[in-house]
Structure 1
Amino acid sequence: MKALWRDLRDHLRTDFRPDLYIATALWAALLLAVNYYFDFEDRYIDAHQGKPVWPVLYFCLYATAYYISVWLWTYFHNRPDIWRNREFWLRSGTALICYSIYAGFYAHSNWSRQLFDGQVYVFAYYCLHNLQSVLTIVLPLYLFYTFADPYRSNFYGIAPKRKGLVLYASLLALMIPLITLASFQPDFLQSYPTYHDTNANEFFGVPEWITALVYELCYGWDFVPTELLFRGFLVIGLSRVLGNGAVLPMVVWYCCIHFGRPLGEAISSLFGGYLLGVLALSTRSIWGGLLIHIGIAWGMEIAAFLQR
């Protein structure tokens, strides 16, 4: 844990300003209040599910959350030059477009109807929903990395590094009692497990645990592009422009992608996102974040299965 506190201390020494952190916290609180009071995402954005405007609305939400957070950082750190930096706009715009398309992607619904003549539509839908990030996030970021990034190195932290892995494993272990406690809450059991009983095991003639395992592997994969974009591309990649300032705006946007989850999970994503962002910046790797993210996700799935 000493390494964790050292990395946090070093980051805060150069980035922390009480006025900046208070302003950012108030901005995040406003976003949370508007979403959960008015049911903003479900009522006004997801009402357009499957329509061409759907990813556009997500882009407006995410861009507002992110760029106002960047403005707060540039204002309090007196860095107006960031807004004149072409690389900043190119990288942030690429990230916003990729994730907005990912959030508003719906082609997998038609693919699921066509696969096996739609006889396993529900199972195929949930699996392809988690795998579509290969097309909407991983491939575009790889093309950007290959053709547009002059600082190609380590594909935004994807190369394995041993630094910090013991620390990440310790943090994951600390989450086990919290996950156990959360599994007794009604709103938790309304969201988890994300796996749903289907006729897929009967169609394929296999035990249900096999179809559940296939789904959970697809579900776990979906956290890889999330870490790649938020901790890899937005923190490690954009740190060349924003330095330590790449973390706070990422955290606010990262909170927004949890708007469809329970309020407690969205709030905790602020703290988890900040911690993972600082550690990714320190280690120049996203593998520790993957360990925690996938470990927590599968931990919540297991806890919910056990409760039911």
Structure 2
Amino acid sequence: MKALWHDLRDHLRTDFRVDLYVATALWATLLLSVNFYFDLEDAYIDSFQGKPIWSVLYFLLYATAYYVSVWLWTYFHQRLDIWRNRAFWLRSLVALICYSIYAGFYAHNTWSLELFDGQIYLFAYHCLHNLQSILTIVLPLFLFYKFVEPYLSQSRPGNFYGMAPKRKGLVLYALLLALMIPLITWASFQPDFLQSYPTYRDTNANEFFNVPEWVTALIYELCYGWDFVPTELLFRGFLVIGMSRILGPGAVLPMVVWYCSIHFGRPLGEAISSLFGGYLLGVLALSTRSIWGGLLIHIGIAWGMEIAAFLQNASR
């Protein structure tokens, strides 16, 4: 834990200002209040599901959350020159466009209907929904890293936005994950938990392919776990490790507010906790120059909840 506190202390020494953090907290509170009072995402934005404007509305939401947060940081740190930086605009717009397309992507619905004549629609829909990020996030960011990054920075970062594993911090991340096990175990005994987990639902896919159900369940869980990879790659990799070339430690705070906004369709408590979790993971990604810690925690918790729910159902 000493490494955690050391990294947090060093980051706060260079970035913390009471006025900045209070202003950012108020901005995040305003966004949360508007969303959950008017049910902005679920009742309005998602009413356009499957239409091109769906991604546009997500772009407006995410751009508002991110750019106002960046403005607050540049204002209080007296770095308004950032707004004249072409690389900042290019990086931020690429990130916003990629994630907005990802959030509003619905082609997998058609693919699932056409795959095997729709006979495994439900199974295919959930798997393809989790895998579409390969096209919408991972591939565009890789092309940016390969062809645009050298032009902007005269050189590429040492690895693909933190995708290379680093030993630093892994013990700490493993400890944080271990601390979640008792909480996950307790939650698995709650009725509300078992209404939501496991996210895998019995389908006819195993009968269609004539395989045991554990095979299709494993395929689903692998796809489910993959969906956390592009999230970490974009938010902690591209927006923190990559954007730190321009914003330095200031890359963390705007990322956190945008990261919170992608949880607007989730329960309020989860959206609020994403602020704290996003900040911690952002600081550690900046320190370790790796996103593997965030992947370990995110995927570990997700699969831990799935396993706990499977065990609870098996014991009944």
Instruction: Work out whether the TM-score is over 0.5.
Output: yes
> Which whole-Å CA distance do the structure 1 matches of 2:23 and 2:312 have between them?
40
Shift in Å at residue 70 of structure 1? Answer: 0.6
Partner amino acid, structure 1, of 2:47:
A
> Which whole-Å CA distance do the structure 1 matches of 2:126 and 2:226 have between them?
12
> Which whole-Å CA distance do the structure 2 matches of 1:29 and 1:201 have between them?
45
> Which whole-Å CA distance do the structure 2 matches of 1:302 and 1:36 have between them?
31
Partner residue in 1 for 2:247: 242
What's the Cα RMSD here? 1.3
> Which whole-Å CA distance do the structure 1 matches of 2:29 and 2:190 have between them?
23
Cα shift readout 1:99-151 (whole Å, capped 9, x = no counterpart): 00000001111111111110000000000000000000000001111111023
- Is the partner of 1:157 in helix, strand or coil? coil
Shift in Å at residue 185 of structure 1? Answer: 5.0
- Among 281, 295, 304, the alignment partner of 1:276 is 281
- Give 1:36-75 correspondences, 5 Å limit: 36-75=36-75
Structure 1 length-normalised TM: 0.96
Q: After the TM superposition, list the runs of 4 or more consecutive aligned residues in structure 1 that deviate by more than 4 angstroms.
A: 184-190
Partner residue in 2 for 1:108: 108
Contact 1:188 1:262 in 2 (8 A): no
Shift in Å at residue 186 of structure 1? Answer: 5.4
Structure 1 pair 89–10 and aligned structure 2 pair: CA distance change class (3 A): same
- Tell which deviates more after alignment, 88-97 or 31-40: 31-40
Q: How many residues align?
A: 308
2:131 corresponds to 1:131: yes
> Which whole-Å CA distance do the structure 1 matches of 2:97 and 2:190 have between them?
35
Cα shift readout 1:189-248 (whole Å, capped 9, x = no counterpart): 444322222111111112222111110100101111111100000000000000000001
The runs of 5 or more residues in structure 2 that have no matched partner are: none
Structure 1 pair 255–189 and aligned structure 2 pair: CA distance change class (3 A): farther
- Among 257, 260, 266, the alignment partner of 1:261 is 266
Partner residue in 2 for 1:89: 89
Partner residue in 2 for 1:214: 219
- Among 156, 159, 173, the alignment partner of 1:152 is 156
Contact 1:187 1:262 in 2 (8 A): no
Shift in Å at residue 307 of structure 1? Answer: 4.2
Cα shift readout 1:66-105 (whole Å, capped 9, x = no counterpart): 1111111111111101111111000000000000000000
2:183 corresponds to 1:178: yes
- Is the partner of 1:78 in helix, strand or coil? coil
